[in-house]
Chain A
């Protein structure tokens, strides 16, 4: 079945995957696919966003996501400004709206925000006149990560529909897991989640996933094995007793991977804790691991999102604040 093609992405913001229609997701992936080709050329520059201002507002430290957004904006010709607001300097989110209002007065066309609190991107979107892209809010969503994961899978497998995807590890604290669950379900994949019971959110099955606590059962016949980073501070919260025990039961090694399909792909949103959630031999297995490809897709996906969202902005620039 072919879905009717959208002429454009129908929203002003990208705050999460939940609630996006499959054809809107498809549109972004198609557009991103074209940017993959562009990014492999010597001249990677386009003028699509010429004259536009993009501000990357990062309340949490990030290397790859902020770099990826910066590069995406620059390749499309936007003026990109990076603002890192270290958590210590922020008085418990209090300055989020103040910062937003200040920045809004400078008429940015796109605000890319990463924040430690769930809902921060939504709160910001209510207050600014440009487009907002959620680059990760608390444990809520990380939509561009899910899109880049989907693009990686689609390019390797030709489609998302029918793929059995096992998402493994700290589901509870993972915005990547939530966005991926919504996206993969919307596109007709089968999603399984697996982790120790302490790291599985209550009622996660209500999001339409198969829930496992045994890694080998979760990987049985899987097409895609998506590993999540284990936050190192989880030991203090008594979620897991030790790295050693965690790796024994939930770390991805060749022994556990043998239960997945022989050509199963291995994914990880990075940064990896080698020896904690993933064995180096697996992570670096060039036949199986698509972890570096995910990074490449990241830039293309973010270009697609910037391109799609700015098509909704008036040509005269952002509307003045009321």
Chain B
């Protein structure tokens, strides 16, 4: 990026030093939290937003301030990704906190919440602290660990929610496993109230989904693959809505994938139940036919659904029934995926593709820009209690500069992630992050990297 002649620009890896002033000029300021979408400028000092607005620096920035010419591109609060599997500790060959953070930064994500499905499991305060410390030392974006709801993800005994929260756990989940026992779920939701902790459920009734490989229906029948009915998801959400009502606990459904689940969530919200839900990009960017001839990159949990469900998901993002969009980034190595379909691992990487896939819905006029971005900024910040996610004086200088329109093709070989398991290779998309700023520091710069 070119800088004003009298001012130094911002170099990759710099910024965020205490007291350092950086001016972002000629920006389109987009802040879903306040509904702002207007031309203007923004000033950061150190790691915080100091000022912003349409009138700021209309006569040029004060001399000596580093400046970035945004050239009219959208300056937004950095994205918050609430569902990221990282291989560290235990599967560093698939992904480390460092490589995940590089991938996140490239995708405009400034904060990621990592899942407890590690080895060892994040179910001990010491492990929460270890992950936070490793992230602090190696990651270029903010990382907050989520801790297990049940010890060892075993689904039987609840973990030390209070101590884990005090150690830094941002929320509680068994990750890609459902808390299957209604009794354990009831106790967890109830006990978590004492700490105002959010419980994130993977909604799939394991008795119905355990042996399944893909969505139950015609495609599964043709391929001879065991199916997972949508009811496995919906009935678990219905149960948990009742448990949330019974206990008053705060419940977030990590991912929903089908029309009937959306109806259940909408009904519960209308009744005033404290419930929210998320969605993964593969559930609005793909449908079950992508499995095609046994493409294991398209094996996900919950599975890809029929087109009618995919459309319902898009509509629910547009009308706000779905609160959060999260990447569900789940790195898998070649050996885990180059298998007969039923044997292959679940999951897809997503940090670097979430933004362009969301923008597909925006460009297709299915979802408006502010609504789409809100699901990755203000709403997750509110639900998970994060200080970022908005352009606000005093908020962390976590920002992303987006070229919303630039056309490009996804190239999985160029992913920063250590794993390349995504079925989007060569997919034409529009829009990407050209700069990502975390705590005032420039961590991703597309055109000079």
- Taking the closest CB of chain B, its distance from the CB of A322, in whole angstroms, is 16
Chain A residues within an 8 Å CB radius of B341: 117-119
Whether, in the assembled complex, B216 has its beta carbon less than 8 Å from a beta carbon of chain A, the answer is yes
Whether, in the assembled complex, A257 has its beta carbon less than 8 Å from a beta carbon of chain B, the answer is no
Residue of A nearest to B211 (CB): A237
The 4 closest A-B pairs by CB, nearest first: A140-B224, A117-B340, A119-B294, A139-B224
- Taking the closest CB of chain A, its distance from the CB of B89, in whole angstroms, is 24
Judge whether B221 and A138 touch: CB under 8 Å: no
The 8 Å CB contact of A119, one of B226, B227, B335, B340, is: B340
Chain A residues within an 8 Å CB radius of B217: 202-203
Residue of A nearest to B226 (CB): A139
Given contacts A18-B222, A117-B342, A118-B341, contact A123 B216 (CB under 8 A): no
- Taking the closest CB of chain B, its distance from the CB of A223, in whole angstroms, is 25
The 8 Å CB contact of A118, one of B216, B229, B335, B342, is: B342
The 8 Å CB contact of A140, one of B223, B227, B229, B338, is: B223
Judge whether A137 and B224 touch: CB under 8 Å: yes
Whether, in the assembled complex, A6 has its beta carbon less than 8 Å from a beta carbon of chain B, the answer is no
Judge whether A118 and B224 touch: CB under 8 Å: yes
Judge whether B221 and A204 touch: CB under 8 Å: yes
Contact count band on B: 20 to 34
The 8 Å CB contact of B224, one of A92, A93, A141, is: A141
Whether, in the assembled complex, B92 has its beta carbon less than 8 Å from a beta carbon of chain A, the answer is no
* 12 A/B residue pairs, CB under 8 Å, sorted by A: A93-B339, A94-B339, A97-B338, A119-B225, A119-B294, A119-B340, A119-B342, A120-B340, A123-B339, A138-B225, A178-B224, A203-B218
Chain B residues within an 8 Å CB radius of A123: 294, 338-340
Judge whether A207 and B343 touch: CB under 8 Å: no
Bound-complex Cα distance A89 to B342 (A)? 18
Judge whether B222 and A119 touch: CB under 8 Å: no
Contact count band on A: 20 to 34
Chain A residues within an 8 Å CB radius of B271: none
Chain A residues within an 8 Å CB radius of B338: 97, 123
Bound-complex Cα distance A160 to B67 (A)? 78
Bound-complex Cα distance A92 to B225 (A)? 16
Chain A residues within an 8 Å CB radius of B294: 118-119, 122-123
Interface residues of B in 306-326 (CB under 8 A from A): none
Q: A94-B343, A118-B342, A202-B221 are in contact. List 11 more A-B contacts (CB 8 A).
A: A119-B293, A119-B342, A123-B339, A123-B340, A137-B224, A139-B224, A140-B224, A201-B220, A202-B229, A204-B221, A207-B221
Judge whether B339 and A175 touch: CB under 8 Å: no
Residue of A nearest to B229 (CB): A202
- Taking the closest CB of chain B, its distance from the CB of A163, in whole angstroms, is 23
B329-361 vs A, CB cutoff 8 Å, 1 = contact: the mask equals 000000100111111000000000000000000
Given contacts A123-B294, A202-B216, A206-B218, contact A118 B339 (CB under 8 A): no
Chain B residues within an 8 Å CB radius of A120: 340
The 8 Å CB contact of A178, one of B222, B227, B343, is: B222
Interface residues of A in 104-157 (CB under 8 A from B): 115, 117-120, 122-123, 137-141
- Taking the closest CB of chain B, its distance from the CB of A204, in whole angstroms, is 6
Chain B residues within an 8 Å CB radius of A206: 218, 221
Chain B residues within an 8 Å CB radius of A266: none
Whether, in the assembled complex, A96 has its beta carbon less than 8 Å from a beta carbon of chain B, the answer is yes
Residue of B nearest to A117 (CB): B340
- Taking the closest CB of chain A, its distance from the CB of B154, in whole angstroms, is 22
Bound-complex Cα distance A120 to B293 (A)? 11
Judge whether A115 and B221 touch: CB under 8 Å: no
Judge whether B221 and A118 touch: CB under 8 Å: no
Residue of A nearest to B225 (CB): A118
- Taking the closest CB of chain B, its distance from the CB of A175, in whole angstroms, is 6
